[in-house]
Amino acid sequence: ETWYGEEMWALFEAGDLLPDSVLTGEFEQDESSIDLDGVRHAINDAREEALIRQQGREAAEENED
């Protein structure tokens, strides 16, 4: 069984994927635990920032009228 896609993605994330990268098809899965609270916090922050930007756009449109 080969893991070329996963290997390529890992190289890409590390900034090491190049046109001449030699792929082996071997990939070691990261088994570390996920920081779900951190992920939720980041998602909530992004939602709040998007809402603030949207409110700013709406206010700017109202001021144009």
Residue 47 CA neighbour count, 13 Å, CB half: 6
Tokens standing for 14?
A: 């590390």
pLDDT at 64: 86
Give the mean model confidence (pLDDT) for residues 15-41. Answer: 95
Give pLDDT, residue 65.
74
Q: What digits encode the pLDDT tens for the residues 29-38?
A: 888 999 999 9
The answer to whether 28 touches 38, Cβ cutoff 8 Å, is no
**Would you state the pLDDT for residue 23?**
97
Q: Is 8:17 a contact under the CB 8 Å cutoff?
A: yes
Q: Are 7 and 21 in contact (CB under 8 A)?
A: no
What mean pLDDT comes out for the span 46-55? 98
Please say whether the dihedral angle defined by the alpha carbons of residues 54, 57, 59 and 61, taken in this order, is positive or negative.
Answer: negative
